[in-house]
Copies of this chain bind each other. A is one copy, B any other.
C-alpha cells in the first residue's frame, strides 16, 4: 500500500489533510513539523514546512495526486510515493474501508 510524502506550508497543511480524509482519498494523514533547505532559482532557502504522510490505497493513489495538484499552493509540490512491503492486516483492512 502507498504512503504519500507531501510537503506544504504550515498555513495550508491542516486544510490539505482534512480534505484528503474528508474526500476519502486517504484513511489517515500524519503531519510533522520540518525545516526545509533547498535550492530555488539559484539561491538556497530555508523554510518551515509540514510533512504530510498520507496513508492510502493502490486504487486511490492517482486520484489523490490529481486532487493534490488542484489544492496545493505550490507550482511544483513535493509529492512522492513510498510503497510498504508489509502492513498489519487489520490496519490494511481499515485503510481500504476508509478509502472507497
Contacts and interface: CB of A to CB of B under 8 A. Distances in A.
Interface residues of A, number: 50
A52 B76 CA distance: 21
A76 B94 CA distance: 8
Each complex incorporates copies of this chain amounting to 3
A15 to B, nearest CB: 10
Contacts of A5: 3, 84
Interface string A46-83: 00010101010000010001000100000111111111
Q: Give the interface SS of chain A, mostly helix, strand, loop or mixed.
A: strand
Contacts of A33: 32-33
A77 B98 contact: no
Interface of A: 1-3, 5, 7, 14, 17-18, 21-22, 24, 27-39, 44, 49, 51, 53, 55, 61, 65, 69, 75-88, 90-91, 94, 98
